[in-house]
Amino acid sequence: MTVSTATGSTMIAASPSAAVASRATATVHRAAPSRRAVVAGLAATLAAPRVLAQVPARVVVVGGGFAGATCARVLARAGLDVTLVEPAMAYTACPMSNAVLAGLRPLAGQVFGYAALRDEGIAIAAQNAAEVDAATRTVRLNDGTVLPFDRAVLAPGIAFRYDAIRGYSAEVANLMPHAWRAGAQTALLQRQLTAMDDGGTVVMSVPANPYRCPPGPYERASLIAWYLKERKPRSKLIILDAKDQFSKQRLFVAAWKQLYGDRLEWVGQSGGGTVTEVLPAERTLVTEFGRFRADVANVIPPQSAASIARDSGAADATGWCPVNPATFESRLLPNVHVIGDAAVMGAMPKSAFAANAQAKVCGEVVAMLLRGETPPPPKLVNTCYSLVAPGYGISVAGVYTPRNGILADVEGAGGTSALDAPASVRAAEAGYADAWFDTIIAETFG
Amino acid sequence: MNRRVAPVVAAVLLVAMAGSAMAAGALPPGASTCSGCHGASGPVPVLHGRTPDDVAEAMREFREGRRTATVMDRIARGFSEDEARAIAAAVVVPPEERAP
């Protein structure tokens, strides 16, 4: 690793080819009709001296969640020089955090470090990324460090669109937690639920699609309802939803009726469920049709790709990052791939399972592209388990392949658990949910 | 070439191709996803160390609805016999034993 401070910023592993790449890519930007072909040709030419010198190509991965950490490991195992940009010392996992809210799991059991990744030779830059520059093929960190790359993988996750609900903000989230990024927010919502008197009302606000973990709010509602039934039986939960259809809806609704009855009330978009404003001082959520006073308010705001993706130009007007579904390469930034919740993945939902699955394919694709090979069209799978109660699990699965420029459902595959499945199947799926979490954690962080 | 042999030859070719792709560090389409659930211990069945024929047969039975399933029937229907055979050949090998 060479360090230069000549320009006032630190260059790690600086090499002359970075400057050449910068000029070459700038030229390529004007050659619009065959830009991809030219970029590929130039990349091969530029990569050649590195191959001859047996210097591994450099890949910078931004974000150490299920997508980024998994991808970094796949890339390192392919012999590449991998730097993971992740400011946190440890990752707090969202999957299973709804069980933490209900007191069924400890929050400490959601926290995973990066020691295994370090042991595999992955360099970890414990900083926030300030900008990913596709023209110069560099990632600039908040402390001024500049990391050159041959290819980059953006896996930064989500940001909350605090402006989408009047009165809501990062500060108000300390009174009305979203708990949609696990950690302190999860602990806060759990404390509020624990402190609430019996007879209280919990109100959840759920956004329209797309957002992280489509069935997540309904699993959360289920487990909060279970907690209330067990511990505070005179209490009630109201879900205010900005949509009329949601993931695994028939399974959730049937289970709610059976398990929780009138304790859980869901108000859809056409019933006036869209929350437009919050009044934190009055602990009140305002919808198009009325006001809901909450003893505990859980406001899950609309979301977008994380700010680093938007600030670097990887996101389009929707706030999310469009990608080539065969390679996950950004439609907007050449040599930059986007995976996980930040990307537009067509029919594939924003889930930890999907992020991990995309990361494994993306790692292989990036390694192949850097070797000058053409990756085959991928097939991806998603499986998402939700707990409706302890020992009661349901699932949705899908198989996806590129079609018409997006990741599309493979016809005839996928779907949800059977509506009439016996209790033994619900118990088995709850067990598989636990097992899935342990397995994916081992693959990502273990 | 008769109709019974053709798919077998295709499958063998695919497995052979999968082998060469693996040597370069890549898995056949769909194979890398399996390890999201199938790990080193149960209750989700462990794939490492089983025979490719065993895994391919299970995928066929799931796909055709002949085997009791919670989720694998829904997933197996997304893969052809050839794809499933290529995946089966790959996933029985633990990651640490795969060619880099």
Interval A19-42 mean pLDDT:
38
- CA neighbours within 13 Å on the CB side: how many for A129? 30
Interval A249-259 mean pLDDT:
98
Which residues of B fall within a CB distance of 8 Å from A428? 43, 70
For an interface test with A, give the residue of B14, B33, B34, B98 to mutate (most A CBs within 10 A). B33
Euclidean distance between CA atoms A378 and A324, whole angstroms: 11
- Minimal CA separation from A77 to chain B, in Å: 7
Q: What is the pLDDT of residue A146?
A: 98
Q: What is the pLDDT of residue A53?
A: 54
What is the percent of chain A with per-residue pLDDT over 90, rounded to a whole number? 87
* Residue from the list A375, A401, A439 with its beta carbon closest to the beta carbon of B37: A439
For the segment A97-119, what is each residue's pLDDT rounded down to a tens digit? 999 999 999 999 999 999 999 99
Q: What is the pLDDT of residue A354?
A: 98
Contact call for A77 and B25, based on CB within 8 A: yes
Alpha helix locations (H) across B1-100? 5-23, 52-63, 72-76, 81-91
Contact call for B78 and A373, based on CB within 8 A: no
Question: Which segments within A163-220 are labelled E, that is strand?
Answer: 201-206
Name the closest residue on chain A to residue B83, using Cα atoms.
A379
Interface of B with A (CB under 8 A): 21, 24-30, 32-40, 42-44, 70-71, 74-79, 83, 95, 100
* Residue from the list B29, B42, B77 with its beta carbon closest to the beta carbon of A379: B29
At position A2, the amino acid (one-letter code) is T
Q: What is the pLDDT of residue A9?
A: 37
- Flag whether pLDDT at A6 surpasses 50: no
Interval A8-19 mean pLDDT:
37
Contact call for B35 and A368, based on CB within 8 A: no
For the segment A291-349, what is each residue's pLDDT rounded down to a tens digit? 999 999 999 999 999 999 999 999 999 999 999 999 999 999 999 999 999 999 999 99
Q: In what helix (H) or strand (E) does residue A131 lie, and over which residues does it extend?
A: strand A129-133
For the segment A41-83, what is each residue's pLDDT rounded down to a tens digit? 444 444 454 555 578 999 999 999 999 999 999 999 999 999 9
Q: What is the pLDDT of residue A365?
A: 97
- Flag whether pLDDT at A134 surpasses 80: yes
Question: For residue A430, what are its two tokens?
Answer: 């709850």
Question: How many contacts does A have with B, using Cβ atoms within 8 A?
Answer: 116
Q: The pTM is what?
A: 0.86
Euclidean distance between CA atoms A63 and A165, whole angstroms: 27
For an interface test with B, give the residue of A71, A327, A361 to mutate (most B CBs within 10 A). A361
Mean pLDDT of chain A: 91
Pairing of strands A380-389, A392-403: antiparallel
The string of DSSP codes covering A60-71 is EEE--SHHHHHH
Q: What is the pLDDT of residue A246?
A: 97
* pLDDT tier at A252, thresholds 50, 70, 90: very high
* pLDDT tier at A428, thresholds 50, 70, 90: very high
Q: Largest Cα–Cα distance in chain A? A: 72
For an interface test with B, give the residue of A339, A368, A383 to mutate (most B CBs within 10 A). A383
Contact call for A356 and B36, based on CB within 8 A: yes
Pairing of strands A321-322, A138-141: unpaired
Interval A339-361 mean pLDDT:
98
Alpha helix locations (H) across A232-345? 249-259, 307-311
Contact call for B37 and A360, based on CB within 8 A: no
For the segment B5-32, what is each residue's pLDDT rounded down to a tens digit? 444 444 444 444 433 333 345 799 999 9
Which residues of B fall within a CB distance of 8 Å from A415? 74
Q: What is the pLDDT of residue A5?
A: 34
For the segment B29-81, what is each residue's pLDDT rounded down to a tens digit? 999 999 999 998 989 999 999 999 999 999 999 999 999 999 999 999 999 99
Is residue A358 helix, strand or coil? helix
Let me know if B6 is exposed, middle or buried by CB neighbors in 10 A (0-12, 13-18, 19+): exposed
Q: What is the pLDDT of residue B100?
A: 58
- Minimal CA separation from A399 to chain B, in Å: 6
Which residues of A fall within a CB distance of 8 Å from B43? 428, 431-432, 435
Least confident of A163-177, A340-354, A393-407, B10-24: B10-24
